[in-house]
Amino acid sequence: MGLSSKDPYCALVLGGSFDPVHTGHIALAKHLCDVLKPDELRIIPAGQPWQKSALTATSEQRVSMLKLAFEDWPDCKLIIDAQEIRRAEAHVASYTIETLRELRTELGAQASICFAMGADQLLNLHTWHQWKDLFSVAHLCAASRPGFDINLACPEVTKEWQKRMISPQEMRASAAGGTYLDSSLAVDVSATQLRKELKQHNPTIRLLVTHKVLDYIQQHSIYQNNGY
Ligand code: ATP
């Protein structure tokens, strides 16, 4: 793509539970790094997500696994940002809008902030706290994910999304407010499936997680007794 020297600093942001981080997360980040060529990839593990039941791995374990999965990230600077974990530890509810506002304060008004999500999150977007305000702080990028049909997004989200669609070049060159949909990703893995297969000692887990993360999970006996 035509990256211009005038383009502002760009952060590609990936939030999630990462319980545990898997090859779907890595593929999503890699793919969007190839498209957007950001200056940083910022991974923001959730504290205690309000839309999900309790996580299995501790925050410390999830951060350790993220460090192993993304170590020596070749594309750009890698930051694992624990702001949501810190808020949860202080018993403060954490919403993506607040996280992105904090990031905007840190990176300044000009920076291009691109928040990445899989198709499952796009289908949920209308339930997010102050979801329409997200566009005033960041761009939103969604990638396809097997099992989730983006055509089934809430009509209000679809309308908002379509009127804001821009190219990756435009997204890279501006601060916020655009949407980009990438339909080429097709990595059929989820943390739920992975937790299940880890509990069952299914050998296919080797395809779903990096070997360092798998070693870590086994050394710390993390997903032996989880309810998936
Ligand atoms: P769980 O199964 O526990 O709900 P998950 O696999 O969806 O977890 P999360 O940590 O919740 O993983 O996901 C973080 C982000 O990565 C979300 O935006 C999610 O949509 C995206 N993502 C996860 N897996 C994939 C995948 N296979 N393809 C595309 N995006 C993905």
Q: Is 52 helix (H, G, I), strand (E, B) or coil?
A: coil
Best residue among 19, 21, 22, 25 to mutate for probing ligand 1, ranked by most atoms within 8 Å of CB = 25
Residues 149-184: tens digit of each pLDDT: 988 899 999 999 999 999 999 999 999 999 999 999
Specify the pLDDT at position 215: 96
| Matching residue, tokens 């887990």 | 205
Tabulate helix, strand, coil % of the chain (nearest 5): 45, 15, 40
Whether residue 144 has its Cβ less than 6 Å from ligand 1:
no
Whether residue 172 has its Cβ less than 6 Å from ligand 1:
no
Average pLDDT over residues 32-56: 86
Confidence band (pLDDT; 50, 70, 90) for 25?
very high
Whether residue 183 has its Cβ less than 6 Å from ligand 1:
no
Q: How far is the CA of 118 from the centre of ligand 1 (A)?
A: 6
User: Looking at per-residue confidence, does 90 or 191 come out higher?
Assistant: 191
Report which DSSP code applies to 125: G
Report which DSSP code applies to 59: H
Tell me the CA distances in angstroms from 46 to 15, 25, 29, 86, 147, one per residue in order. Answer: 7, 14, 17, 9, 23
- Residue of 104, 94, 92 lying closest to 177 (CA atoms): 104
Whether residue 20 has its Cβ less than 6 Å from ligand 1:
no
Phi, psi of 37 (to 5 degrees): 50, 60
Query: Does 1 have pLDDT greater than 60?
Result: no
Whether residue 24 has its Cβ less than 6 Å from ligand 1:
yes
Specify the pLDDT at position 227: 63
Q: Tokens in use for 71?
A: 């170590």
Q: How far is the CA of 4 from the centre of ligand 1 (A)?
A: 31
Residues 96-149: tens digit of each pLDDT: 999 999 999 999 999 999 999 999 999 999 999 999 999 999 999 999 999 999
